[in-house]
Structure 1
Amino acid sequence: MTRPRFLPDNFTLTLIATVILASLLPASGQTAVAFGWVTNLAIALLFFLHGAKLSRQAIVAGAGHWRLHLLVFSLTFVLFPLLGLALKPLLSPLIGKDLYMGMLYLCALPATVQSAIAFTSLARGNIPAAICSAAASSLFGIFLTPLLVTLLLNVHGDGGSTVDAILKISVQLLLPFVAGQIARRWIGAWVGRNKSWLKFVDQGSILLVVYGAFSEAVNEGIWHQIPLWELGGLVVACCVLLGLVLVASTLLGKAFGFNQEDRITILFCGSKKSLATGVPMAQVLFAGATMGVLILPLMLFHQIQLMVCAALAQRYAKRPESIPEMMGQVDP
């Protein structure tokens, strides 16, 4: 019997369990210090494997679709932040100052890679363009997100400046990614054969960061700082933000004359925010209890976007095939 798509998947349940574990048994003292080192190594391994998995040929294949990429980047790095600022009169009293800052951090993040491509594929969108757009968003986010965080939250990271934050993120995230790209010629085939279990590196590193962040936050009394009604308001806030971006993505895709396959790619690449990138970046840009509060909106938004986009992808997948799709299946 298959699990209904509206129910959380195993990783979502594990993520919830990790937050509960950190709430009941938080790491502290020297244990927390050692745990931080292990977490940093896991993050480096995560981005190294991302570099080894990502095909340069696939990126080149979709790189020429610049109008689509420009619209996706505008949705990710312009519309999201503008909506975050515009919704302040509604969100700030609804969820409180700290969670609202978490919403702004969410708005500053790049798009996902895996889920955006997976949903585009399921919905029969433009897959090469999705690969290029999502990958480029993730890479550009290493530089753009610290700048947006500085503008939106007036936060400069541990180094005291935006440049220091970018350099720190580049060393911790971009350098392992580049190393993975270089090593791809030797380990790319092995990574491709073993991607079914290497996904646990992705998930495991996220769980480590979440546990560490919430352990430190719990030690500082996070659950005593956030009332239950604010958590309920956060669910509403995430749904409103996602709904606005989905509607805007659909309308703009039609207004600029993109075909159905491209509009699907714009929808799924332009409406996503990356948990896999956002949590490690928060590890660099923020610290202590603040980080636990700031990533809470991201964690919730991530689960909502997965469930909503899974339903949308299934709906698109059931549509009749277009003429270009049918012609693409005929041998010349």
Structure 2
Amino acid sequence: MGPVRRVVARVDWFVVSLLLAVVVASFFPVRGQAAEGLEVAVVVAVGWLFFLYGVRLPTKEAVDALRDWRLHGSVLAVTFIVFPLLGLAVQLVPSSVVPHDLKLGLLFLTLLPSTVQSSIAFTSIARGNVAGAVVAASFSNLAGVVLTPLLVAGLLGGAVGFAVDSIGTIGLQLLAPFVAGQLLRRWIAPWVLAHKRLTTLTDRGSVLLVVYSAFSHGVVDGIWTTVDVGSVVAVVVLCCVVLAVVLTFTSVLGKKLGFSRADRVVLLMCGSKKSLASGVPMATVLLPAASVGIMVLPLMIFHQIQLIVCAVIARRMGDAAEPEPART
């Protein structure tokens, strides 16, 4: 039972739940009036998610980011410049290898902010600058609320039919709840932090609802007629290549800039992540409903790959780090 328990403990049950949501949507998609009701529920869920993001992100940490501008600026540059350039490079892959919509999905994932929880956790495991990781990851998500929609409009706009009218929707569904969370956090944050398990369940449940809705819509529109096993394998390979390039780049960049080991860990762990929790709800607002399902598929694949790879790297870096001197 020992090995079995260890395997079970390492399973990312959130990812398993997301895959189950895709399976359920594939066999039991919603249609008609039920689909209209689900769309309303998704709008509420997305608003709730970004309200919670606003409550959870300490404004002071974003302001503090300006003090160590070299580190946090480097993380932002990798997240919102290097990654998008790689996403554009992926578009050169022939559509006979990867369908057009999946290539656009790969580009979309490169436009997203970094993760928060996993970036901080892996930085801690690798014995890096945890405080720096908290600020870098938080600042990335704060910037992503504005930068990701701008990048989607600029790089994906023509391909997915991004309209100027979408700006109002973005403001109502993403920015307004986020700002409200920031304004109310001094009163609400203590309760949210005290009931972390409850809020985690509700925001993860919201993401599951959004994934189910996206794939349900996609199934009705014939998503699985355009995606085959070969295409999925090609996406997995491309995700691995993109992650490998970013990990190598951040590792070299940290040394070139003369960062301490602890700060190099921050750049490596925060700069190489893309947020599934932010990406899925953003996709429902920024992308056409008919293409959301297929375009978030690469993000779901990349999310799992980055967790596995970075967990191994973080563990090895932590084991190789010099032990901290004992306190007297």
| TM-score using structure 2 length | 0.91
Matches within 5 A, 1:129-168: 129-155=132-158, 160-161=163-164, 164-168=165-169
Give, in whole Å, the separation in 2 of the partners of 1:55 and 1:227.
Answer: 43
Would the alpha carbon gap of residues 116 and 170 (structure 1) be closer, same or farther in structure 2, given more than 3 Å must change?
farther
Which stretches of structure 1, 4 residues or longer, exceed 6 Å deviation after superposition? 156-159
Matched, 1:254 2:255: yes
Q: Name the count of aligned residue pairs.
A: 325
Matches within 5 A, 1:111-126: 111-126=114-129
78, 81, 86: which one aligns with 1:78:
81
Give, in whole Å, the separation in 1 of the partners of 2:61 and 2:204.
Answer: 24
Give, in whole Å, the separation in 1 of the partners of 2:145 and 2:117.
Answer: 17
Q: Which residue of 2 aligns with 1:272?
A: 273
Would the alpha carbon gap of residues 330 and 59 (structure 1) be closer, same or farther in structure 2, given more than 3 Å must change?
farther
Give, in whole Å, the separation in 2 of the partners of 1:100 and 1:6.
Answer: 33
* One-letter code aligned to 1:130: A
Cα offset, 1:208, TM superposition? 0.6
Q: Which residue of 1 aligns with 2:98?
A: 95
Give, in whole Å, the separation in 2 of the partners of 1:53 and 1:292.
Answer: 28
**Coordinate RMSD, CA, aligned:** 2.2
Matched, 1:216 2:217: yes
* Cα distance per residue 1:197-236 (max 9 Å; x no partner): 3211221111111000000000011101112211111111
* One-letter code aligned to 1:105: F
Does structure 2 conserve the Cα–Cα contact (< 8 Å) formed by 1:157 and 1:165?
A: no
* Cα distance per residue 1:49-71 (max 9 Å; x no partner): 22222333444455411001111
Give, in whole Å, the separation in 2 of the partners of 1:58 and 1:147.
Answer: 23
Cα offset, 1:288, TM superposition? 2.9
Extract unaligned runs of 5+ from structure 2.
Answer: none
Matched, 1:294 2:299: no
* Cα distance per residue 1:157-207 (max 9 Å; x no partner): 77722xx43442232122212222222222222211111232112211111
Give, in whole Å, the separation in 2 of the partners of 1:289 and 1:40.
Answer: 16
Cα offset, 1:87, TM superposition? 3.3
Q: Which residue of 1 aligns with 2:235?
A: 234
Cα offset, 1:6, TM superposition? 10
Q: Which residue of 2 aligns with 1:3?
A: 6
Extract unaligned runs of 5+ from structure 1.
Answer: none
Give, in whole Å, the separation in 1 of the partners of 2:157 and 2:296.
Answer: 17
| TM-score using structure 1 length | 0.90
* Cα distance per residue 1:7-49 (max 9 Å; x no partner): 5411111111100000000011111111111122122222222
Q: Say which is worse superposed, 58-67 or 23-32, in terms of deviation.
A: 58-67
Q: Say which is worse superposed, 59-68 or 285-294, in terms of deviation.
A: 59-68
Would the alpha carbon gap of residues 254 and 52 (structure 1) be closer, same or farther in structure 2, given more than 3 Å must change?
same
